[in-house]
Amino acid sequence: METMIFQLIDEGKIKLTTTLDTFFLNLPNAKKITINNLLNHRSGLHNITEHPDYLNWMTQPKTHVEMLEIISKDTIDFQPNEKMSSTNTNYIVLGYIVEKISDQPYSKELDKRITSKIGLANTYFGKGP
């Protein structure tokens, strides 16, 4: 994930200071949380795996809209940069940003930007071929 984000930064498509409202207006604190905050787990976004009903829906496929809705219903755990808390939510959002910027599924970007470049012919995203 970090590699693809930094490639997009090198390409001038985003900056570490780009805020979430550039992509997702409805996420909590979207105007304050930056790409840098997400990368460093300093966003304050609540971890979706801590939802009380997470075990009920985690194995069910979810669309981006459904996932963003789940994330947007949460309150923040803290203000950006106030502290650090490792959360899956940060990386879900970063993955969606990669997809939004590239207009490609994450799996295709992963292949294009990383796995095919270094010859990882038997590396797959999700299920195999």
Distance CA 24, CA 35 (A): 12
**Residue 29 structural domain:** 2-115
Instruction: Please indicate, yes or no, if residue 121 is contained in any of the structural domains.
Output: no
What is the count of structural domains for the chain? Answer: 1
Asked whether residue 125 is assigned to any structural domain, the reply reads no
For residue 123, being part of any structural domain is answered with no
Query: Looking at the domain assignment, is residue 128 inside a domain?
Result: no
Q: Which residue has the higher pLDDT, 52 or 129?
A: 52
Q: Return the CATH number at 80.
A: 3.40.710.10
Two tokens at 109?
């970007």
Alpha helix positions (H), 20-129: 35-39, 54-57, 64-73, 88-102, 106-110
Residue 129 lies in a domain: no
pLDDT of 7 reads: 97
Residue 106 lies in a domain: yes
How do residues 82-95 score in pLDDT, each as one tens digit? 999 999 999 999 99
Cα distance from N-terminal residue to C-terminal residue, the chain: 21
Does 6 map to a domain? yes
Tens digit of each residue's pLDDT (9 = 90 or more) over 21-77: 999 999 999 999 999 999 999 999 999 999 888 888 888 888 999 999 999 998 999
Write out pLDDT tens, residues 89-113.
999 999 999 999 999 999 899 889 9
pLDDT value of position 128: 46
Tell me, yes or no, whether 15 lies in a domain: yes
